Structure formats: C-alpha cells, structure tokens
Chains A and B, each alone.
Chain A
Amino acid sequence: DAKTTQPPSMDCAEGRAANLPCNHSTISGNEYVYWYRQIHSQGPQYIIHGLKNNETNEMASLIITEDRKSSTLILPHATLRDTAVYYCIVRVKDDMRFGAGTRLTVKP
C-alpha cells in the first residue's frame, strides 16, 4: 500500500505557481520524500527529494513541514509542458511503490 495521499487532480494557469500537496502522516524518521512526474506514455522523471529541510533545484522546490507529515511540491512558473501526473513517494532505499498521484493540468 502506498504511504502517501495526494489529490487526484489539479489545474493551474500557465505562468502561475503550481503547488502540489502530499500527505505522508506515517513517515518514518529515515524515510525520504521523493517527487516524480510522468508525462503521458513515458517513464517517470525524477524531480526532487528531501529528508527534513526544504530543497530547491532547477525544476522545483520541495517544502516539508516541521513534523514531516506532509509536503508541497512547488513549480514556480508552470508551463504547458508541466502537464503530467505527479507522484509523491516516501522511501528509504528500495521501497519504490507509487500511489495514484495528482494529475496536474496547466491551462493557457
């Protein structure tokens, strides 16, 4: 069973920030939070991961709450090419199970 809960779908206007939430209330102390996305008919693409602190890279920012029970992936300026299914996963090493994810649709 997946250890995360995400809304099934979200819309975002092009150029605006997309904020995708993820609940992981049963996360263990040594589990990382990972985000991947899957564009239609392709393999998932790694976005970002973190343990406790907020993280930022060229694609996105990851905000993890202090109690680590939830996180938010932020795409600062969404484009049409960011339309995809976004998956939040919590794992230590080899437990790579996906939940249902959030289908993000970026609209012009």
Chain B
Amino acid sequence: GAVVSQHPSWVICKSGTSVKIECRSLDFQATTMFWYRQFPKQSLMLMATSNEGSKATYEQGVEKDKFLINHASLTLSTLTVTSAHPEDSSFYICSARMDTEAFFGQGTRLTVV
C-alpha cells in the first residue's frame, strides 16, 4: 500500500511553545489529508480535513487558531500546535486520501511539560 510518513514520531515540549508535525505522502499525491487526535484508550477523533491549496475544515470544538493546518502541496500537510499546554498532550495521527482509500501515518506522540 501507499506510504504516509509522519515526523516526528514523538516530541516533548515546554508549555507555551509551539510544535509542528509534518505529514508526507511518499509515493502518491494526496488532495485530501486528515488530522486526528487520540487520547489513551480512546478512539481517533477527527480534528480537521484539509485540501491542497485551501483552508482546512475544522471539526466542531477544535480551535483553528490553536491547531494550525497547512496543506501547501499535494504531498505535505503540517499541523502546528500553538502555545501548547499539558492538556494538548496526545497522540496525533495524519491520514492521506488516494482515490477511495486513505492511508495513515505512524502517529506523533506529543508530551507537553
């Protein structure tokens, strides 16, 4: 199957700083990418859907000014967690759609201390 690479795999940051997570489709072009957040022992929660070259569509309750999504090319989307706080600590996962299938990155574990 197609490969989606997410970087970094894990990151620890200080409260109040910003963290950027990259999601790349390595062998295909993805017009649509999805960002999820997952807390321990819970399911994936869709945060936003982004289409290349346009603004992301955020799910209800997700702060667009806190979770900045940029999808500037067909192979790269970034999620920036701004002014991170300990409650933002979570497992963040991206997904890229190719035709009718969607492929997932390996996830980024963010810990805010």
Query: What count of chain B residues pass the 8 Å CB interface test?
Result: 24
Nearest Cβ on chain A to B14's Cβ, whole angstroms: 23
A96 at interface by CB-CB < 8 Å: yes
Residues of A within 8 A of B45 (CB): 98
Residues of A within 8 A of B95 (CB): 43-44, 96
Residues of A within 8 A of B101 (CB): 46, 49
Instruction: Kindly state the separation between the CA atoms of A36 and B102 in the bound complex, as whole angstroms.
Output: 10
Instruction: Kindly state the separation between the CA atoms of A7 and B1 in the bound complex, as whole angstroms.
Output: 28
Q: Looking at the complex, which one of A42, A46, A98 makes contact with B106 (CB distance below 8 Å)? A: A42
B107: nearest residue on chain A (CB-CB)?
Answer: A43
Chain A interface main SS type: loop
In addition to A41-B109, A44-B44, A44-B95, 7 A-B residue pairs with Cβ atoms within 8 Å of each other are A43-B104, A44-B93, A96-B97, A97-B46, A98-B45, A100-B43, A101-B43
Instruction: Kindly state the separation between the CA atoms of A97 and B6 in the bound complex, as whole angstroms.
Output: 20
Residues of A participating in the B interface, judged by any CB pair closer than 8 Å: 32, 34, 36, 38, 41-46, 49, 85, 87, 93-94, 96-101
Nearest Cβ on chain B to A97's Cβ, whole angstroms: 5
Residues of B participating in the A interface, judged by any CB pair closer than 8 Å: 1, 4, 6, 32, 34, 36, 43-46, 49, 91, 93, 95, 97, 100-107, 109
Residues of B within 8 A of A96 (CB): 34, 46, 49, 95, 97, 102
List the 8 shortest-distance A-B pairs measured between CB atoms, nearest first.
A43-B104, A98-B44, A44-B104, A43-B107, A98-B43, A43-B106, A43-B93, A96-B34
